Amino acid sequence: MKLALVTETFPPEINGVSMTLGRLVDGLGLKGVSVTVITPRRRDRNGSSRNGCILQEVAGIPIPRYPELRFGLPARRLLGQQWAGNRPDLVHIATEGPLGWSALRAAREQTVPVVSSFHTNFHAYGNHYGFGFMKKGVLSWLRYLHNQTERTFVPSDDIVETLGKDGFRNLRLLPRGVDTALFNPRRRDNNLRASWGATPETPVAIYVGRLAGEKNIGLVIRSWGRMQKVLPDLKLVVVGDGPDRKRLQRSCPDAHFAGMQQGEELAAHYASADCFPFASVTETFGNVVTEAMASGLVVLAYDYAAPGRFIQHLENGFLVPFNDEDSFLETAIEMARVRYAWAEMGFKAVRTMSPHSWDSIVTQYLSELESLFS
């Protein structure tokens, strides 16, 4: 099978979307699928291939407030010409902008089946970036584009339900996996902890993710303050970067800001902490939650997406009603009070994530694609 994947986020960008697509591409390559990734050109991307896939770079411009990412420009004519001479069996669109729309039109001209995937709640981000008034228009556009495709892959049951109510059709659940060989408690590093000012016994809370308004990190910092009333020596480590980093560093000088981390360094940061308060309400899945659980951390999060799927309250983590800030803060205090139970809960979190490998997710994805040709 020859697959063309159209996306604006692909490694080296390290975020939930690019990581998911990177894992998917790697898994497809191991199963003999020929993948061409069509993505905006970047200066820091090395080489024209990744684990056997071909990278085809097209024109793009920086995304406002996300300058490290690129917004793909229309490429209908270019893709149409290439696909006329080398027709893919299927096109997968993972971006809803001009690049994705032009790819959809080019594929239709070549009568190539098209599937899509829903990765980001763009319509939910509006209130954080000053364009909440455009929410209905953005949602209408997303629905229109995705409904032109044979399948729309969605990472969680609650997003399937929400999009279904909003008129999206042909939805298919495709959960995301976790690399348990990379993310696991064996990565714990006391030397790293010492660089944070923590002894082997000091409790450490960690946040991993983009430092931006839609991630609700302000609530994470407030919850840390509440937890310190019970655990005065509780440290906070913040991993990630984004438009709010400087402001957060000024307002929270006692936290340790570690910047962007990748690969084994990221895994070590997870495993060297103890708990993971995660307050985002805009996730389509929440890869960081599964990575934290696989690393043996006790996660506190809202009851939706990955937390709702994998966390059992008071067993392997803590769940609170969606977007209920008071409950989040109260439960943070409760989590601090049961510090003695964190090791056992973390062990159960690791056991919860162990069956959810990327290989099983790729196999499920391939089965869905093959059903289009049967």
**Spatial distance between the Cα atoms of 174 and 17, rounded to a whole number of angstroms:** 13
Average pLDDT value over all residues in the chain: 90
214 compared with 317, residue with greater pLDDT: 317
What's the pLDDT score for residue 51? 57
Q: Which residues pair with 301 in a beta bridge?
A: 278, 319
What's the pLDDT score for residue 67? 62
- Edge-to-edge, what's the strand order for the sheet holding 275-278? 256-259, 235-239, 204-208, 275-278, 298-302, 317-320
Contact 74, 47 (CB under 8 A): no
Q: Which residues contact 292 (CB under 8 A, 6 or more apart)?
A: 206, 208, 270, 276, 278, 299, 349
Q: Tens digit of pLDDT for each residue in 133-155?
A: 467 888 899 999 999 999 999 98
Task: Provide the 3-class DSSP secondary structure of residue 208.
Answer: strand
Q: What's the pTM?
A: 0.80
What's the pLDDT score for residue 41? 87
The one-letter amino acid code at 279 reads: A
What's the pLDDT score for residue 125? 46
Q: Residue 13 — very low, low, confident or very high, per pLDDT cuts 50/70/90?
A: very low
What's the pLDDT score for residue 219? 97
- Comparing 7-21, 87-101, 113-127, 350-364, the range with the smallest average pLDDT is 7-21
What's the pLDDT score for residue 46? 61
Contact 121, 149 (CB under 8 A): no
Closest by Cα among 106, 57, 101 to 86:
106
Angle at 215 between CA 278 and CA 166, to 5 degrees: 105
Q: Tens digit of pLDDT for each residue in 176-233?
A: 899 999 999 999 999 999 999 999 999 999 999 999 988 999 999 999 999 999 999 9
Contact 85, 61 (CB under 8 A): no
Contact 331, 318 (CB under 8 A): yes
Q: Residue 313 — very low, low, confident or very high, per pLDDT cuts 50/70/90?
A: very high
What's the pLDDT score for residue 2? 96
Average pLDDT over residues 271-284: 95
Q: Report whether pLDDT(129) > 50.
A: no
What's the pLDDT score for residue 122? 52
Closest by Cα among 323, 243, 234 to 276:
234
What's the pLDDT score for residue 50? 59
Average pLDDT over residues 123-142: 64
